[in-house]
Chains A and B, each alone.
Chain A
Amino acid sequence: MKEVAADLIVFFILALVSIFAAVMVMEAEDIFHAALFLALLFTVISGVYILLLAEFIAAIQLLVYGGAIVVLILFAIVLTNRAGKVGDQSLKNLLMRTAAIIGFTALLVQPILKTPWPQRMIETTGLNTYAVGYSLFTDYVIPFEVVSLALLSALIGAVYLSKREVEA
């Protein structure tokens, strides 16, 4: 019982920080700050994965989203001119943002209520990483290869597009 309580406390801390970070990604007036809040959001979400005993996913989340994607976004921002504080603070904009958030939340209400959430923690064998690797290379080997092929074609496409721009 005690462990469940500790889990809940940690989860609520992580949830509050992640909601705060997600809101600040939208609300930060400096685009560099928004990207940093994005990094915080990804890091906190990897903490949620650890809480779910999915440590492999947590590490990958940190590596791919926190490490690679945020660094690329920051790199792109650093290459631009310093824009300073931007953002439309008018009432109309505020109303539109609020409406968008309420609308999106309303869309999510139905799935949240319909999903049969597990009532207790799933038991783990302690070999999560092994299990992920095993099923990736047996049951899901074809989807895995298809996804890597799609990523490869995206990569080649990006190289082709940037090359063509240089020639023109």
Chain B
Amino acid sequence: MTRVHGGLYAEDMEQLYHGPVPYVILAAGAVIFVAATAAVGIALSFIGSLGSTSFWNNPWVRGIVGAVLWAVVVGGGGLYLTLVERKFMARVQVRYGPNRWGPYGLLQPIADALKLMRKEDIIPDAADSLVMRLAPIIAFAPSFMLFAAVPWTAEYVASKMDIGVLYIIAVTSLTPIGVLMAGWGPNNKYNLLGAMRFAAQELAYEVPLILAMIGPIAVAQSLNGVAIVEAQSGYWFGVIPRWNIFPQFFGAIIFFVAFMAETGRIPFDIPDAEGEVVHGFSAEYSGMKFVMLLLLEYVHLIAGAALFVVVYMGGYLGPAPLSQFAWFTLKLLFVILVMMLIRAVWFRVRIDQIMDLGWKILLPAALINVGVIGVVLALTV
């Protein structure tokens, strides 16, 4: 038996290339994601671009290109963020991290994905099988749909819809339905407990998240992502960029904590706390369905970071040598790395502490923040 890198055997490697079923599932999944995002992008950019004629403003072009672009970023990015996170956390915690499979462990995510795809897809006898099968798709799709309104640059936005950030909030609020389905479908107590924790957490932190976005919305006087970014252009005293994070520092903190809780990562990862609820709502899942529920966390991470960059960190704005595209990507990576750093050095908090923080501290703080911003804007504008 010849041993190759990463503990896989040569026989195993051969088996990877037989059995087309996982690839068919993967391809179908990819097509569904792309189609869903394209459909939403097309539908909503019809409203945004009535009467314009240029090539990029064609809703079909804009919707399909935007969908493919984000599908690549979120699919590939989500896959590789697992490696980035493991390597980064390992360095922070003075370990090596994955380093067997390819140079610097660069092929590790692909090996992981192939391994997970080969796994048997188990539906328990007592499960509500349709609900269980649909749950990962319904949980995953909304997080993917929201990218239709995230402006990558002033031009590369799938849909320049008028209601940009409101649309993002609205589709995000559908995720708990899918997660509750994943909790109910498999007929397992741990799934149910994990899903209930997730839904409770999402409900608690959604309100401060929305309230913290009201400040930048009021400054821009628009819900459109591009308009919110454009309102942050210029400098104070010629050096400090006019990003919302500087005058609205408390709003930014509330927003950051709230979206960190919504992604359900350490220190807010009680929905899938291994020691308590055995990985929560994904406990009974295996194979590709498990991958989708696992990647949900990373898609949420990219989405939350993108939203934070747009709303508080000036989106694609930045000095000339780098393009708008590069600035947005750099800021996105920076926010993601900050979140990974927090995960690497922090610990899990208890469920009652999380609920207390959401309802008793963040919610009043966000309300006060909205009031103060309202008064300041009324006095100055």
Question: Judging by beta carbons under 8 Å apart, are B166 and A39 in contact?
Answer: no
Segment of A16-24, A65-73, A107-115 in the binding face: A65-73
A21 to B218, CA, bound (A): 38
In chain A, positions 59-96 with a C-beta closer than 8 Å to chain B are 59-60, 62-63, 66-68, 70-72, 74-75, 77-79, 82
Q: What's the nearest-Cβ distance from chain A to residue B231, in Å? A: 15
Report if A32-B131 is in contact (Cβ < 8 Å); known contacts: A50-B43, A59-B163, A129-B163.
yes
Segment of B19-27, B179-187, B341-349 in the binding face: B179-187
Cβ of A97 within 8 Å of any chain B Cβ, yes or no, is no
Residues of B within 8 A of A36 (CB): 131, 177, 181
Report if A56-B44 is in contact (Cβ < 8 Å); known contacts: A36-B181, A70-B177, A75-B196.
no
Report if A66-B196 is in contact (Cβ < 8 Å); known contacts: A60-B170, A129-B223.
no
- Supply 19 further A-B pairs (C-beta < 8 A) apart from A55-B163, A56-B163, A59-B170: A36-B181, A43-B174, A55-B161, A56-B166, A59-B167, A59-B169, A60-B166, A66-B177, A67-B170, A67-B172, A67-B176, A67-B206, A70-B177, A71-B180, A71-B199, A75-B196, A79-B196, A82-B187, A129-B163
Cβ of B239 within 8 Å of any chain A Cβ, yes or no, is no
Report if A78-B192 is in contact (Cβ < 8 Å); known contacts: A32-B131, A33-B131, A63-B169.
yes
Considering the complex, give the chain B residue whose CB is closest to the CB of A77.
B184
Residues of A within 8 A of B183 (CB): 78
Q: Which of A43, A63, A77, A128 has the most CB of B within 10 A?
A: A63
Considering the complex, give the chain B residue whose CB is closest to the CB of A53.
B47
Interface size of B by Cβ–Cβ distance < 8 Å?
33
Question: Judging by beta carbons under 8 Å apart, are A62 and B181 in contact?
Answer: no
